[in-house]
Amino acid sequence: MAAPPTPPSPPIEPNDTVVLRKVRKSYDGEHEVLRGIDLIARKGETTVIIGGSGAGKTTLLRLIVALEQPTSGELYIEGENIAGLPERELNRVRKKLGMVYQYAALLDSASVLENVAFPLVEHSSMKRKEIDAKVMDTLRILGLDDSVLKKFPAELSGGMRKRVGLARALMLQPPILVYDEPTSGLDPLTSRMVDDLIEETRERFGVTSVVISHDIASCFRIAHQAILLIKGQIVARGTPDELMAGDSDAARDFIKRSGVDVKNIGRVSDKRV
Question: Read out DSSP for 31-72?
Answer: EEEEEEEEEEEETT-EEEEE--TTSSHHHHHHHHTTSS--SE
For residue 119, how many C-alpha atoms fall within 13 Å in the half-sphere facing its CB? 22
Separation between Cα atoms, residue 131 and residue 137, nearest integer Å:
10
Task: Identify whether 10 is part of a domain.
Answer: no
Lowest mean pLDDT among 8-17, 40-49, 132-141, 168-177: 8-17
Please, what is the average pLDDT of the chain?
A: 88
Task: Identify whether 161 is part of a domain.
Answer: yes
Same-domain status, 235 and 160: no
Kindly report, residue by residue over 143-160, the tens digit of the pLDDT: 888 899 999 999 998 888
Nearest alpha-carbon partner for 216 in 264, 163, 158: 264
Same-domain status, 90 and 142: no
Query: CB count, 10 Å around CB of 154?
Result: 8
Residue that is last in its domain, among 123, 158, 173? 173
Domain of residue 244, CATH code: 3.40.50.300
Contacts of 53 (CB under 8 A, 6+ apart): 214
User: What pLDDT, on a 0 to 100 scale, did the predictor assign at position 183?
Assistant: 85
Task: Identify whether 232 is part of a domain.
Answer: yes
Task: Examine the pLDDT at 273 and tell me if it is beyond 70.
Answer: no
Separation between Cα atoms, residue 254 and residue 267, nearest integer Å:
20
Q: How confident is the model at residue 209 (pLDDT cuts 50, 70, 90)?
A: very high
Same-domain status, 85 and 186: yes
Q: Which residue has the higher pLDDT, 55 or 4?
A: 55
User: What pLDDT, on a 0 to 100 scale, did the predictor assign at position 101?
Assistant: 82
Q: How confident is the model at residue 80 (pLDDT cuts 50, 70, 90)?
A: very high
Same-domain status, 187 and 157: no
Same-domain status, 65 and 196: yes
Q: How confident is the model at residue 4 (pLDDT cuts 50, 70, 90)?
A: low
User: What pLDDT, on a 0 to 100 scale, did the predictor assign at position 12?
Assistant: 84
Highest mean pLDDT: which of 61-65, 139-143, 193-197? 61-65
- Work out how many domains the chain is built from and give that number: 2
SS3 232: coil
Print the domain residue range for 113.
107-173
Q: Long-range contact list for 131-134, CB < 8 A, 24+ apart? A: 134/171
Task: Identify whether 271 is part of a domain.
Answer: no
Same-domain status, 75 and 185: yes
Task: Identify whether 269 is part of a domain.
Answer: no
Task: Identify whether 101 is part of a domain.
Answer: no
DSSP 94: H
Residue that is last in its domain, among 147, 173, 199? 173
Same-domain status, 162 and 180: no
Separation between Cα atoms, residue 66 and residue 94, nearest integer Å:
7
Q: DSSP for 187-211?
A: -HHHHHHHHHHHHHHHHHH--EEEE
Q: Give the predicted TM-score (pTM) of the model.
A: 0.89
Task: Examine the pLDDT at 99 and tell me if it is beyond 70.
Answer: yes
